[in-house]
């Protein structure tokens, strides 16, 4: 991801990476490593990772209607939110 972030054309680099094409190795000052580390420390192990305002981890993907229900009803409504 750092090479994508540091590319002069990030959009193309990301598209190439998703398509399995090689992306030129680049290093620069970027938030990638810091954000990855924070994610690991708070238990994010996939995407999407959604956290409610109260800090509860809602898990992965939820359909929009369910997401609204969970967010409006609090973590108890999530039935498995962590």
Predicted confidence at residue 74, as pLDDT, reads: 59
Note whether 1 and 37 are same-domain residues. yes
**Lowest-confidence range among 13-17, 26-30, 35-39, 76-80?**
76-80
Gap between the Cα atoms of 21 and 15, Å rounded: 9
Strand partners, 50: 59
Please give the model's pTM, rounded to 2 decimal places: 0.47
Q: Residue 9 is part of which domain span? A: 1-41
Note whether 33 and 53 are same-domain residues. no
**% the chain with pLDDT above 90:** 34
Note whether 52 and 27 are same-domain residues. no
Structural contact between residues 23 and 30, judged by C-beta atoms closer than 8 angstroms: no
Note whether 3 and 37 are same-domain residues. yes
Question: 50 by DSSP, 3-state: which?
Answer: strand
With residue 41 as reference, give the H or E element that holds it. Answer: helix 32-41
**Strands (DSSP E) found in the chain:** 50-51, 57-59
């Amino acid at each position: 991801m750092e090479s994508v972030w540091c590319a002069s054309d990030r959009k193309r680099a990301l598209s190439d990476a998703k398509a399995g094409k090689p992306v030129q190795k680049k290093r620069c000052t970027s938030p990638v490593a810091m954000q990855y580390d924070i994610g690991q420390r708070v238990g994010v192990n996939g995407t999407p990772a959604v956290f409610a305002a109260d800090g509860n981890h809602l898990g992965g993907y939820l359909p929009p209607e369910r997401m609204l229900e969970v967010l409006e009803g609090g973590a108890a409504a999530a039935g498995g939110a962590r």
